[in-house]
Amino acid sequence: MNQPNQNHITIFGDESVNNNIVCYSVIVFKTEMLLLAENILEKIKDEFGVPKNYFLHAKELFNGHERSKLEFTIDIEKIKNLYLKIANEFQSADKLCCYADKRMIKKNETINWDHNNRTEIYNGDKELIHWCKNGAMIDVVRFKKQNEYSFIPDPDNNSRMKWGNKKKAKVNNQDYNMIISADTIDYPSHPDDMIRLKQINIHNDIPKPSLIQIADFLAYSFAKAKTIQESKDKQFFIEIINIMKPISRFYEFN
């Protein structure tokens, strides 16, 4: 059997929106360590009585109404302890959160390239998530050749967004996964003027990779900790971010 390329990494990503904050988070593993990481996560779930086939979804677990619909019983204190253990077990993995503050970004922007050429930009939640996704990847892949990484986002196969002159672009469309920035030019790994993300799309008939569950929780915690909105659990999410210590990148459209 072929041994995994020791330079190869696998990146898992997910987003969260909370009040004024839009966040996209990624967590990075050496590909050869994926099975070990998956086993650690499954053991934690088993320890707290979470069925193996239940995909941890923080937004659902921290909402009492949604939690009451689950096929198993778990209280909020057990959920917090479960996630505290996950945060501590995976604190050494590379993590990055790119976020936008919707209060500082106009819903509609126009870029005038010249008198005959302009681009209309719409900054709704889905569009900002997409910009943040690309922003979260800059430091992760800029020095990686395309055969040295895989990027696996949480699937969003149905949502549409306004992208340029396309009013109903698919969120998961590979064509939009590019990073264009002055500081991404002239790297040997990407000789073009842009870095294009090599995204692996997960469809409904393919089980979601287990480690997206950590990206889900990281994004949810970051948005909850960063929002101006107060909540009784806010200090818990601040504690989680202090444990996991993701790199934070602020996205500002200009």
Average pLDDT over residues 189-217: 73
Residue 236 lies inside a defined structural domain of this protein: yes
Residue 209 lies inside a defined structural domain of this protein: yes
The answer, yes or no, to whether residue 227 has pLDDT greater than 60, is yes
Average pLDDT over residues 94-111: 91
Q: List the CATH number of the domain containing 81.
A: 3.30.420
Residue 207 lies inside a defined structural domain of this protein: yes
Average pLDDT over residues 99-119: 82
Q: What is the pLDDT of residue 149?
A: 87
Residue 156 lies inside a defined structural domain of this protein: yes
The answer, yes or no, to whether residue 181 has pLDDT greater than 70, is no
pLDDT mean across residues, the chain: 86
Residue 20 lies inside a defined structural domain of this protein: yes
What is the distance, to the nearest Å, from the Cα of residue 236 to the centroid of all Cα atoms in its chain? 20
The answer, yes or no, to whether residue 120 has pLDDT greater than 90, is no
Percentage of residues in the chain with pLDDT exceeding 90? 57
Residue 3 lies inside a defined structural domain of this protein: no
Kindly report the backbone phi and psi dihedral angles of residue 110, in degrees, each rounded to the nearest multiple of 5, phi listed first: -125, 125
Q: What is the pLDDT of residue 134?
A: 84
Q: What is the pTM of this model?
A: 0.88
Q: What is the pLDDT of residue 117?
A: 75
Q: What domain range is 150 assigned to?
A: 9-250
Q: What is the pLDDT of residue 113?
A: 66
Lowest mean pLDDT among 94-98, 131-135, 214-218: 131-135
Residue 2 lies inside a defined structural domain of this protein: no
Kindly report the backbone phi and psi dihedral angles of residue 77, in degrees, each rounded to the nearest multiple of 5, phi listed first: -65, -40
Residue 1 lies inside a defined structural domain of this protein: no
C-alpha span between 113 and 115 (Å, rounded):
7
Q: How confident is the model at residue 27 (pLDDT cuts 50, 70, 90)?
A: very high
Paired sense of beta strands 94-101 and 108-114, if any: unpaired
C-alpha span between 242 and 222 (Å, rounded):
10
Q: How many domains does the chain have?
A: 1
Q: How confident is the model at residue 191 (pLDDT cuts 50, 70, 90)?
A: low
Q: How confident is the model at residue 185 (pLDDT cuts 50, 70, 90)?
A: very low
Give the closest residue to 25 by CA, choosing from 250, 232, 218: 218
